[in-house]
Amino acid sequence: MWVCCLISLLTACFWHSQRWQQEAAHAKVQMVLDYNSLVDLARSRGQKWEDALPEFTERGVSALAFAELRAEELENYGVCSVFSGVALGADTGQGSGGEGQPNPQYTYLVQWSQDGLMKFDALQQACVEAFGADKVKPFTVNSPRYQAARVVEIALPLRTVQGIGICFPNWGLAAAREKKLDVWLRPENKPPITLPAVRAYLDRLSHQVKAQGLIFGGASNEVLGYGADPPILEETAQMIAGHDWKLGFIELPKITQQKGVETLVRQLPTNTVRVFTVPPAQQATLKPARVAQMYTLAARERNLTVLYMRPYAHDPSPDKGFEHANSEMFGAVYEQLNGKNLLGEAATFSREVQPDRISIALLSLAGLSAFWLVVLGYLSVPASLAVGTLVGFAALNAVAAQIHLWLAAMALGTACTASLLATVSQFSALRQAASRNNFGQIMAQSTLAWLRMFLISLAGAWIASCFLQETTYKLGLDVFRGVKVVTVIMPVLIALAWMISGPERGHWLRIGVAPLKLYQLVGLGILAVGGIVYTMRTGNMAGTDVGDSMEGERYLRMVLDQALGVRPRFKEFLLAHPAMLMAPLFLRWGWREATAVMILIGATGQCGQLDTFAHVHTPLYVSLIRCLLGGVLGCLLGWIYAGILWTLAKGVEWLQRKIPIST
């Protein structure tokens, strides 16, 4: 059985080496600046945006992202004035709704001069492309003040027109090309949603500018082509690939994710890049160092290769401490990423890692072998049964090797049995440690038992995560949802296994029929509350209330990230690993209930190894370092906690000798 586990481990090492190479080729990150935010900042300073740009390009920005301009933004750029039919009629003094007068249900774009950023013909053509030729035409205003003006009539209400992007700023795109900046476009879904219209729209974008990729936007929060009948998203994906564009996949909660983007990503996993941005409202409440840490952490630990950044708004009141916010934020991101040689053109997972059927069969040996090793500690099983099940199970996995849900189930089963084996196999070693004579001997043997647990559970998590090699996991589109089973249910089962093993069985059978005491009731209440909080904070999808971290904790994470490079998990190095190391002390003192609690808490650290590796969107080397750092710090803190407890216990013994209790 142990040989089978070793075979699985070596197979996992081979395929993880492939993933390691894949992630190394995917490491480059691009800092992309939002063009509209840059323009707003420059205006507030009384500058041209070209004059404000060097502040950001000198600090790592290598691309600009352009959204489609709406009517209001065209007005802000001085391209045209925007009127409803009623407003235009009132402005001319001729009213609306009559013969030759503006229609009150329509929208009118008035261009006063041809010397602006956009010629009238280009404006009219952009409106035709945005709203359809049947809804756009020139309009003549019979008013002396409008004699030199040219007007476009759009047969749609003003509110409708205001919500639809009309065109990209060609002047900005041209300037970006001159400055040798990469361009990302933010197209939006708009009617008519038909295959010819989508194809024509993407062809226009391709001819308009050589863009690096598309990050869909717009008020509708939909990708281009979503909502067509019949569906055309697969064809949209083919067109994106045909134009050799990258597809930006914004990191958002499932409930607010762009409609239709999942279909595109599944069609284009090797064209997709993950995009991270801090919403402007949230950024305005955070210090630059905190925002910089959010961006760098996203780049280093979550496979996000596009950092979509917006500058802080101009701060006319320096007493807030934000007067140099942009140089601080962008400078900190640049320093950290450039120092690790991570800046460059946004990388994609251009090569996929897919273990073959034989490899999946070999990987499956570990989970069933771990199961049999646990069972053989309690029961006698014929060798033919164990060997036969191993062979049959390996054959079954070879057949089911391409089934997504089956591989996820194999990852879950392997992690469960490995963590169970890791802890149960060391129960006798923990009891032996409790019987040692002095503190050093107790802790030395306890540490050896814990180290064996740690290595076995780490190997189990390593093997289990090898089943999760699909690129959609690394893009964060698919999430492994079995984490709570391993990290919540398995520690309870391990604690129960301790309570029915060896000399513990008699104690817990007696306590089970005895009246419940007050301290036991209080202890159960504390354990229940702690269990609820732990459950909500465990897994790939944390809770939004108790499960979400507080800002103070986020700040502590930032400090640890900066100090260690990779932050170990709090619950592992602060609680779980020290608890398992201290379990023999409580057992030595005869505190069986406390010992069981220590085993329960300690088991979360062993089962939690999969929690780390199940975040497949985190690079493999980061997960490995996180586990090892958590182990080292947890071991150190375990010795410190145990030393304090031992000293307190000796102090109590000394007091009892000095102050005998009278009967």
pLDDT at 563: 74
Least confident of 117-126, 229-238, 346-355, 513-522: 513-522
Helices (H), 500-550: 504-513, 518-536
Q: What is the pLDDT of residue 507?
A: 72
- Is the predicted pLDDT of residue 427 greater than 60, yes or no? yes
61 and 111 co-located in one domain: no
Domain count for the chain: 3
Predicted confidence at residue 272, as pLDDT, reads 96
Q: Please calculate the CA angle 241-242-248 and round it to the nearest 5 degrees.
A: 30
Q: What share of the chain in percent tops pLDDT 70?
A: 91
Q: Which residue has the tokens 């354990």?
A: 527
The 10 Å CB-count burial string (b at 16+, else e) for 140-162 is: ebeeeebeebbbbbbebebeebe
pLDDT > 60? residue 548: no
DSSP codes joined into one string, 215-229:
--BSTT-B-TTTT-S
Label residue 543 by pLDDT band (50, 70, 90).
very low
Domain-ending residue, one of 162, 182, 198: 162
Domain with 262 in it: 50-68+170-289+307-327
- Kindly indicate the confidence band of residue 503, based on its pLDDT and cuts at 50, 70 and 90: confident
Task: Band the pLDDT of 94: cuts 50, 70, 90.
Answer: confident
Q: Are residues 89 and 201 in the same domain?
A: no
Domain check: are 123 and 177 in the same one? no
What confidence category does residue 546 fall into, taking pLDDT thresholds of 50, 70 and 90?
very low
Q: Is residue 378 in a domain?
A: no
Q: What is the pLDDT of residue 423?
A: 95
Residues 436, 499 within the same domain: yes
Same domain, 484 and 619: yes
Q: What is the pLDDT of residue 541?
A: 45
Within-domain flag for 78? yes
Assess if residue 392 is contained within a domain.
Answer: no
Long-range own/partner contacts, residues 516-524 (CB < 8 A, 24 or more apart): 520/593, 523/593, 523/597
- CB of 202 within 8 A of CB of 242? no
Judgement on whether residues 463 and 533 belong to the same structural domain of the protein: yes
Phi-psi category of residue 244: left, alpha or beta, with phi > 0 → left and psi -120 to 50 → alpha = left
Assigned domain for 508 exists? yes
How many CA atoms lie less than 13 Å away from 125 in the CB half-sphere?
8
Same-domain check for residues 463 and 601: yes
Listed residues 104, 137, 162: the one ending a domain: 162
CB 236 within 8 A of CB 249: no
* Domain annotation covers residue 141: yes
Q: Which residue has the higher pLDDT, 321 or 252?
A: 252
Question: Residue range 408-427: average pLDDT?
Answer: 94
| Per-residue confidence (pLDDT) for residue 564, from 0 to 100 | 77
For residues 56 and 98, state if they share a domain: no
pLDDT per position as a tens digit, 627-658? 999 999 999 999 999 999 999 988 888 887 77
The model's pLDDT over 220-250, given as tens digits with 9 standing for 90+, comes to 899 999 999 899 999 999 999 999 999 999 9
User: Does 322 score more than 70 pLDDT?
Assistant: no
- Could you tell me the CATH number of the domain that includes residue 280? 3.20.20
Please identify which residue in the block is written with the tokens 């929208």.
107
CA 92 to chain centre: 55
Asked if 568 and 654 sit in the same domain, the reply is yes
pLDDT tens-digit series, residues 259-287:
999 999 999 999 999 999 999 999 988 88
Of the ranges 144-153, 499-508, 515-524, the best mean pLDDT one: 144-153
Q: Which of 13, 25, 614 is nearest to 355 (CA)?
A: 13
- 92 and 231: one domain? no
pLDDT tens digits, residue range 108-123?
999 998 888 899 999 9
Note whether residue 475 is domain-resident.
Answer: yes
Give the least confident one: 73-77, 217-221, 538-542: 538-542
Give the chain's mean pLDDT. 89
Q: Place 98 in a pLDDT band, splitting at 50, 70 and 90.
A: confident
Q: Is the pLDDT of residue 93 over 90?
A: no
Tell me the DSSP string of 125-152.
HHHHHHH-GGGEEEE----GGGTT-EEE
Position 141, amino acid: V
Looking at residue 553, what is its pLDDT? Answer: 62
Mean pLDDT of 296-305: 92
Residue 13 has pLDDT above 90, yes or no: yes
Whether 268 is covered by a domain: the verdict is yes
Q: Does residue 132 fall inside a structural domain?
A: yes
Structure tokens at 629: 């750092």
One domain for residues 126 and 213: no
Predicted TM-score (pTM) of this structure: 0.87
pLDDT at residue 244, rounded to an integer:
94
Residues 197 and 147 in one domain: no
Of 134, 162, 190, the position where a domain reaches its end is 162
Residue with tokens 């054959």: 395
